[in-house]
Structure 1
Amino acid sequence: MKSRITTIILFLLTGTTGAGFYVSAQPAASKTYSFKALPVVKTTLFRKDTLSILKYGAKADGITLNTGAINSAISDCSKKGGGVVVLPRGLWLTGPIVLKSNVNLHLKEGALLQFTKDFDQYPIVAANWEGLPQMRNQSPISATGQTNIAITGKGIIDGNGDAWRQVKKDKLTESQWKTLVASGGLVSADQRTWYPSQKSFQGSQMKNPGAISPEKTPEFYNSIKDFLRPNLLLLTSCKKVLLEGVTFQNSPAWCLHPLMCEDLTVRNLTVRNPWYAQNGDGIDLESCKNVLIEGSSFDVGDDGICIKSGRDEEGRKRAMPTENVIVRNCTVYHAHGGFVIGSEMSGGARNIFVSNCAFIGTDIGLRFKTTRGRGGIVEKIHIKDITMRDIPAEAILFDMYYMAQDPVALNGEKRDAPKVQLFPVTEATPVFRDFHISNVVCNGAEKAIFVRGLPEMSISDIYLDNITIQSKTGIDIQEAKGIFLKNVKVAPTETEPVVSLLNSNTVTIDGLSYPQGAALLFSVKGEKSDNIKVINTDTGQAKSKITYTSGATAKSGNL
């Protein structure tokens, strides 16, 4: 097949000090969007009546199990029309708590709600795990089909996650590892992973052991019970929900998991997990509608603020996108990603508005991930006014080859690039399109921008405007179309090339700034690369402007 032509025509720009590549005197194509017409989120309203758990015999001695007292108070409050159930100052040990309609569970300052590490208190129930129906241990806090519920106050909710989770040796210091191993449990044959119990280890050796199937008996699930870690907070099909002021910490798996909820407000929360906490996400919105997350901080072991909508065929059958979401004025410290979409996004995601957030030390800043088999359409994503620093991997990442690995390889871990193959487009082919990202500043990253689509499905219609990133390497765009970069400034310390393009077309770069003396400005690869425009850019600062390889050619080689 005859190679398509990569067209980059060199002109002298009148009145400038250098030359630029461009095919049009017009500025880069751009779409306008507004944060003025944001989604409306309905709010909760509670009766002023209060009910203390002390009335039900609860004791703050850290020994008494207060499960019955707390649940009785919530149930009675709901039956009487609702109100506020109060946890006074003190250490309240408990098993699973179930929220009920019209009840605000309020933790006074100094109140610590501590969930027990006695696994027998958590029955195995039908739930959800990473976008699939699963049998799990009952979540420490849960609600299903409830309306007008809240958890508020200035207290702390601790999920006792260390009792549940396995830990990788490479994520601890040598001293921490020795202490952990000496505490009990068992270590894998390769001496790289610690498990808290035999049941936990046994479950880890099976493929998808929590999956619901007729041949699995209660005895089977009990044999791997410790492996079926619950999410700390699971709210399923609830409406008008408020989470405000409290600290959620030390979850067995995901910390906050609203699933198929509507009208959710998350305000001024602190969400904390150890950085080694596997699956220790901050908040995962799954198939939710009308959500506001604001003024909250996250310091966790996996993704910080994450958008999901089910996994693979199950997510597509559910067909409930996460939509109409506002995220603003939040800070994410340690996490795999600051703001994340995917990878379980098979029901789609749309109408997401993110603004005025800071990511400090997250492995990746803005992280959008999926893989073949997911399906789903992610679109109409609007992000602005983001600050980042000390990002170990990519500042901005779009990746359709997600491989369920930590973003940053552990010491000694070898990773190969995915094998590039062309597959037919089906309902299982994911789609990323129509992203608008502006006003981003990042001080320190491994790579500035990485866009990697599939040969059969390009990532498309990405608009990046007013972006400044200091990084080790520059911009890498693969299998993409309709990419518009305007007023992008990258300062890679390794400057060959500043911008790499592979099998990408309709790429417009308007006003690119880069370090003077860069060895190579553009590398263009692949016979599908076409219609690449560079305007308002001083290309004379680079020692070499452009190279063509792997089937890419120029209409005129006299550049």
Structure 2
Amino acid sequence: MLKNRLLLLAGIVFFLISCQAPKTVWNIQDYGAKGDSLTLNTAFIQTAIDECSEAGGGTVLIRDGIYVSGTVLLKDNVTLKVDEGAQLIGSDNPGDYQTIDPFTDAVGQQRGKCLIGALNAKNIAISGKGIIDGRGELFKREALAKCMRKLKLDESRLNEFVNNRPFLLRFVKSSRVTLTDISLRQPAAWTCHFFQCNDILVDGITIYSHAHKNNDGIDLDSSKDAVIKNCTIDSGDDAICFKTTSPVATQNVQVSNCRLKSDWGTIKFGTESMGDFRDISITNCYIHETRGGGIKILSVDGANIDNIKMDSIQMEKVDMPIFIRLGERLRTYRDAPKQEVGSINNVTISNVVATTWDLEESRVSPPSGIFMTGTKNHPLGAVKLENIQIYLPGRGTKEQAKVIVPEDEEKYPEFSFFGVLPSYGIMGRHMETLRISNLVIQTEAKDERLPVVMLNVQNQQVVEAKINGEQYQIQ
């Protein structure tokens, strides 16, 4: 009898302790969500997020199924976990997406919608080995028009929905943001946008983004104190892009051990560049099969770019490996006042091995290795190139060696818009200080263009350069 009473008492005590234990996991299935790829689960997921945050935080769990949703907003202290085998996919109804902090981007399109967002949140995360898929192909004009007819939506809004396509993830004015392991796929616009955020960690995520136009991978916009590492990105537009669509700087960023592929540019500063870029390092990255430039450093809207270090970068099959441009476009965003022309200074690029595309596959044919240019009134500052090896197809002509490259100070800063350069190796123009050490340029076939063209470069310091196997003095 005593033994039974003790067992009963122990059971009661265990029950009471269990009831008092804090809840740590909010399973969206408990709120009515269905992973049947048909049910719209926005409200169920948002309720789980809200209750999780109100209780002090924890994990909102998505598991076992394919869950359709419109915009959900993360709240303080919430981790959204998508388990392996589970998918969160975007709704095909454009009316299911919210706009947060709207703005107009560099190509004049309205932005602000997203599948998963956060505004003024802190200590938030997305994790798990599952998939978040924006189904961006549904936002192409014909597919979207068909869907709107099916849903009996006002078809006069078609252009509005086409021009304001949802990002996949969008974090605005938030802090302590973490993304780990998750697979991000096929947004209708940018994949992952951080605006005026700080204390960011992106580790081990995978991005595949080719469903529509403007399919950037990761955009750090007026954000600071960020680490991006161990990521694999295959994007239709820029893979990792530093932006400033406000006068607030993007600064103190470390990128390392990433594998990057793009149809436009893999590592890019700009083109939206109102605020400064400073104290940014990129190391041990592999760039491959890129239809645009490998490294693009662009200040055209007033940004002062300073203390940029890139080291140990391997490139295979890229167009122009290195493009640096200081321009005078001076576009404004978010009703901010127009900035003065900016600057580019203290840029060091070291230990780079790059191979360009063949002639038939190059956007500019024949390609060149490096193009660096300021403007007549605003030269580039100090640029240092150390241990750079670039392999090119060659086959440029004597006529191409006579090309006069336009200034185009106020135009969109894209290397391909300048056309074929008179140099196959390096062209530098309007620069204050250029330091080159151990530069190797090799062409597969003879190139009748000049190996090096320097125009209005005030201070050149060359330790060693080798062009097609011969020592070369840059003058």
TM range (shorter): 0.7 to 0.9
The 3-state SS of whatever aligns with 1:163 is helix
Q: Does 1:388 align with 2:309?
A: no
Counterparts in 2 of 1:198 and 1:342: CA distance versus 1, 3 Å: farther
Answer yes or no: is the 8 Å Cα contact 2:327–2:341 preserved in 1.
no
Structure 2: gaps (5+ residues): 1-21, 149-153, 330-337, 358-366, 395-423
- Matched ranges for 1:206-285 at <5 A: 224-274=160-210, 277-285=212-220
Q: Does 1:400 align with 2:353?
A: no
C-alpha separation between the residues in 1 aligned to 2:303 and 2:270? 10
Please state how far the C-alpha of 1:224 moved relative to its aligned partner: 2.2
* Offset of residue 98 of structure 1: 0.8
Q: Equivalent residue for 1:159?
A: 134
Closer, same or farther in 2 for the Cα pair 1:481/1:157, shift >3 Å? same
Instruction: Answer yes or no: is the 8 Å Cα contact 1:277–1:302 preserved in 2.
Output: no
2:52 aligned residue? 77
* Contact persistence 2:106–2:271 (CA under 8 A): no
Task: Report if the CA contact (8 A) 1:165-1:253 is conserved.
Answer: no
Q: Which one-letter code corresponds to 2:456 in the other structure? A: N
Does 1:489 find its partner at 2:458? no
Deviation at 1:219, TM superposition (A): 12
Instruction: Please give the secondary structure, in 1, of the residue aligned with 2:369.
Output: strand
The separation in 1 between residues aligned to 2:328 and 2:131, in whole angstroms, is: 34
Give the letter aligned to residue 346 of structure 2.
D
Alignment-mate amino acid for residue 434 of structure 1 = N
Partners of 2:183 and 2:155 in 1: CA distance: 36
Cα distance in 1, alignment partners of residues 302 and 147 from structure 2: 34
Taking the aligned partners of 1:303 and 1:126, their CA distance within structure 2 comes to: 22
Helix, strand or coil: the match of 1:466?
Answer: strand
Query: What is the TM-score when the length of structure 2 is the normalising length?
Result: 0.79
Deviations 1:395-449 (A, max 9, x none): 011123599xxxxxxxxxxxxxxxxxxxxxx943121111011111112352211
Equivalent residue, structure 2, for 1:364 = 293
Q: Which amino acid aligns with 2:320?
A: E
Any conservation in 2 of the 1:127–1:134 contact (CA below 8 Å)? no
Moved more, 221-230 or 350-359: 221-230
4+ long deviations beyond 4 Å: 123-126, 131-137, 218-223
Q: Deviations over 1:34-82 (max 9, x none)?
A: xxxxxxxxxxxxx981111111011111111111111110100000000
Q: 1:92 to 1:85 in 2, by over 3 A?
A: same
Is 2:86 the partner of 1:111? yes
Q: In the superposition, relative to structure 1, how do residues 98 and 131 fare at CA in structure 2: closer, same or farther (>3 Å)?
A: farther
Please state how far the C-alpha of 1:225 moved relative to its aligned partner. 3.1
Instruction: Find 1:470's aligned residue among 366, 369, 391.
Output: 391
What residue number does 1:479 align with? 430
Cα distance, 1:162 vs structure 2: 0.9
Supply the AA of the counterpart residue of 1:478. Answer: R
Kindly indicate which of the two structures has a greater share of residues assigned to helix: 2
1:343 partner SS: strand
Residue 293 in 1 paired to residue 228 in 2? yes
Q: Which amino acid is the alignment partner of residue 118 of structure 1?
A: N
Partner of 1:455: 376
Which AA in structure 2 matches 1:382? K
Deviations 1:141-187, CA, capped at 9 Å, x for gaps: 11100000000000100111112246xxxxxxxxxxxxxxxxx46xx
Cα deviation, residue 481, structure 1: 1.6
1:399 and 1:453 in contact (8 A); partners too? yes
Match of 2:256 in 1: 328
Aligned length: 400
Instruction: Spell out, residue by residue over 1:181-215, the C-alpha distance to the aligned partner (whole angstroms, 9 max, x if none).
Output: xxx46xxxxxxxxxx54999xxxxxxxxxxxxxxx
The gaps in structure 1 that reach 5 residues or longer are: 1-46, 167-183, 186-195, 201-217, 404-425, 518-536, 540-544, 547-559
Aligned partners of 2:380 and 2:147: how far apart in 1? 42
Are the counterparts in 2 of residues 263 and 289 from structure 1 also a CA contact under 8 Å? yes
Choose which of 10, 15, 35 in structure 2 pairs with 1:60: 35
Seen in structure 2, the aligned counterparts of structure 1 residues 165 and 223 have a Cα distance that, compared at 3 Å, is closer
Are 1:379 and 2:306 counterparts? yes
Question: Aligned-pair distance for 1:508?
Answer: 1.6
Partner of 1:440: 352
Paired position in structure 2 for 1:550: none
Alignment RMSD, CA only?
2.7
Q: CA deviation at 1:126?
A: 4.4
- The match for 1:431 is 343
Matched, 1:499 2:445: no
Distance 2:305 2:167 in 1: 25
What do the CA deviations read for 1:85-143 (whole angstroms, capped 9, x no partner)? 11012111111111011000001001110111111212455423427998656311111
TM-score, normalised on structure 1?
Answer: 0.67
Cα distance in 1 for residues equivalent to 2:229 and 2:124: 18
State the one-letter code of the partner of 1:436: T
The alpha-carbon distance between structure 1 residues 365 and 116, as it changes in their structure 2 partners (threshold 3 A), is: same
What's the counterpart of residue 468 of structure 2?
515
* 2:314 aligned partner, one-letter code: T
**Is the Cα contact below 8 Å between 2:391 and 2:441 reproduced in 1?**
yes
Preserved contact between residue 357 and residue 387 of structure 1 (Cα < 8 Å): yes
Q: 1:137 to 1:339 in 2, by over 3 A?
A: closer
2:145 touches 2:155 (CA, 8 Å); kept in 1? no
CA distance in 2, matches of 1:74, 1:57: 13
Q: Is the 8 A contact 1:126 1:134 kept in 2?
A: no
- Residue 287 of structure 2 aligns with an amino acid whose one-letter code is F
Shift of 1:460: 1.4
